[in-house]
C-alpha cells in the first residue's frame, strides 16, 4: 500500500495540486465578481468548477484503483513463488553458501519480479551494505505479510546465529501450508459467494423491476381516476376516504432502483473479494461483471413485465 501511495504521489505531486487549487480559486474570484452582472454566467461557471473537481476526484480514484490492483497482482505473484524461492535458498546454504550468495543464486528468472528485487538486495550486500540493512528494502517493495515475516525470520536468525537453512525451509513449508489453507477456506465459502451473487446481481434487480412496474401501474390508475373530493359517500349513506395520489412518481422510483441496484452490485463484489481472496481490492475486478448482470436482469425483467401487462390491457 505504501508503494501505491508513492506512485500516486508521483502522478499528482503537491505542486500540481497547488496549481489546480490556485486555478480554481481564481475562477471562483472571477465568478464572484461577475455574479451581479450576469447570473447565468455565474451558474455556468459554478457548474464548470464542480465538473472540474469531480473530474479530478474521478481521475485520482481511478488511479488509486488501478495502482492498487497492480500492487495486489505483484503481491500475489510474489507469494506464489516465495515457498520455492526459500526452499532453493535453503538448498544453496546447505551447499556451503552464505545467505546473500544463496539468495543471489536462487533468484532464477522463473521467479519473476521477486528475482529482480532479490538481485538488487544481493548487489547492495556485495557492494558493502550490511545484509541486515540491504534486505530491509525487500518487504517495502511488496505488500505481502508472508514476505515480511520471512525477512524478519532471516534477520532474527542472523542475529542469533541460528541455522538459517532450517529456518528458510521451515518458512517455505509454512508459506505453502498458508496457501493451501487459503484455498480450502475459499472453497468452503463458495456457497456464500453464490448466495451473494444471486442476491446482489439477480434477486435485487428482479424485485426492483417488479416493484417499478407496480409503481407505474398504480400511477397510471390514479391518472385515470376522476377528480373527486377526498371523501366519498356510498349508496348506503356511509362515507369513506379516497386514496391519495402517490407522492413518488414512477420516474423517481426508476432512478432510485437503478442507483440501489448499482450500489448493491458494487458492495456485493467487494464482499466477494474479501471472502474469496481476503482483500477488498480483489473484488474490484468483479464490479463490472456484477453491474452488467444486474442491469441486464433489471431491464429484461422490466421489459418482459411491461409487455405482459400491455398484452393484458390490449386483450
Whether residues 302 and 209 fall in one domain: yes
Beta pairing partners, 232 = 240
Whether residues 56 and 121 fall in one domain: no
The answer as to whether 238 is a domain residue is no
Whether residues 275 and 207 fall in one domain: yes
Whether residues 205 and 175 fall in one domain: no
Summarised one tens digit per residue, pLDDT across range 103-116 is 888 888 888 888 88
The pLDDT confidence band at residue 211, using thresholds 50, 70 and 90, is confident
Nearest to residue 122, comparing CAs of 110, 106, 141, 111? 106
Indicate the range of 4-18, 160-174, 298-312 predicted with least confidence. Answer: 4-18
The answer as to whether 158 is a domain residue is yes
Whether residues 165 and 199 fall in one domain: no
- Helical residues (DSSP H) of the chain, grouped into ranges: 2-11, 14-33, 39-94, 99-106, 113-126, 131-134, 137-140, 145-160, 164-188, 190-197, 204-224, 250-277, 280-283, 287-314
**CB distance 79 to 113 below 8 Å:** no
Which residue, 164, 181, 198, sits at the end of a domain?
181
Beta pairing partners, 239 = 233
Summarised one tens digit per residue, pLDDT across range 142-174 is 877 888 888 888 888 877 776 788 888 888 888
Whether residues 200 and 305 fall in one domain: yes
pTM (two decimals): 0.60
Which residue, 39, 73, 107, sits at the end of a domain?
73
Whether residues 91 and 106 fall in one domain: yes
Which residue, 57, 73, 89, sits at the end of a domain?
73
Q: What pLDDT does 276 receive?
A: 78
Distance, in Å, from the CA atom of 77 to the CA atom of 79, rounded to the nearest integer, reads 6
Query: Residue 148 is part of a domain; what is its CATH number?
Result: 1.20.81
The answer as to whether 174 is a domain residue is yes
The answer as to whether 239 is a domain residue is no
Whether residues 81 and 34 fall in one domain: no
Whether residues 49 and 99 fall in one domain: no
Summarised one tens digit per residue, pLDDT across range 76-91 is 888 888 888 888 888 8
Distance, in Å, from the CA atom of 121 to the CA atom of 111, rounded to the nearest integer, reads 15
Whether residues 278 and 294 fall in one domain: yes
Structural domains in the chain (count)? 3
Whether residues 264 and 300 fall in one domain: yes
Whether residues 308 and 193 fall in one domain: yes
In this structure, the strands spanning 239-241 and 231-233 are antiparallel
Mapped onto helix, strand or coil, the DSSP state of residue 95 is: coil
For residue 143, give its domain range. 76-181
Amino acid at each position: 500500500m505504501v508503494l501505491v501511495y508513492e506512485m500516486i504521489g508521483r502522478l499528482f505531486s503537491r505542486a500540481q495540486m497547488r496549481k489546480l487549487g490556485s486555478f480554481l480559486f481564481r475562477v471562483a474570484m472571477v465568478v464572484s465578481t461577475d455574479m451581479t452582472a450576469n447570473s447565468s454566467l455565474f451558474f455556468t461557471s459554478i457548474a464548470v468548477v464542480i465538473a472540474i473537481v469531480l473530474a479530478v476526484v474521478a481521475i485520482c480514484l481511478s488511479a488509486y484503483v488501478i495502482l492498487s490492483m497492480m500492487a495486489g497482482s505483484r503481491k500475489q505473484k510474489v507469494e506464489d513463488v516465495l515457498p520455492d524461492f526459500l526452499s532453493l535458498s535453503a538448498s544453496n546454504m546447505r551447499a556451503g553458501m552464505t545467505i546473500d550468495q544463496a539468495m543471489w543464486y536462487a533468484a532464477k528468472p522463473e521467479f519473476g519480479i521477486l528475482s529482480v528485487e532479490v538481485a538488487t538486495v544481493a548487489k547492495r550486500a556485495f557492494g558493502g551494505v550490511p545484509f541486515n540493512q540491504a534486505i530491509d528494502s525487500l518487504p517495502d517493495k511488496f505488500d505481502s505479510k508472508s514476505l515480511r515475516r520471512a525477512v524478519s525470520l532471516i534477520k532474527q536468525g542472523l542475529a542469533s546465529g541460528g541455522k538459517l537453512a532450517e529456518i528458510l525451509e521451515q518458512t517455505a513449508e509454512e508459506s505453502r501450508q498458508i496457501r493451501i489453507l487459503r484455498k480450502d477456506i475459499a472453497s468452503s465459502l463458495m456457497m456464500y459467494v453464490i448466495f451473494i451473487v444471486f442476491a446482489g446481481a439477480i434477486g435485487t434487480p428482479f424485485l426492483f423491476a417488479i416493484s417499478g412496474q407496480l409503481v407505474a401501474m398504480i400511477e397510471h390508475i390514479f391518472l385515470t381516476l376522476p377528480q373527486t373530493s377526498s371523501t366519498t359517500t356510498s349508496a348506503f349513506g356511509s362515507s369513506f376516504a379516497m386514496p391519495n395520489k402517490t407522492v413518488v412518481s414512477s420516474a423517481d422510483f426508476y432512478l432510485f432502483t437503478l442507483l440501489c441496484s448499482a450500489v448493491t452490485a458494487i458492495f456485493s463484489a467487494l464482499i466477494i473479494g474479501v471472502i474469496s481472496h481476503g482483500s477488498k481490492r480483489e473484488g474490484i475486478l468483479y464490479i463490472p461483471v456484477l453491474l452488467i448482470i444486474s442491469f441486464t436482469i433489471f431491464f429484461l425483467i422490466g421489459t418482459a413485465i411491461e409487455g405482459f401487462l400491455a398484452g393484458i390491457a390490449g386483450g
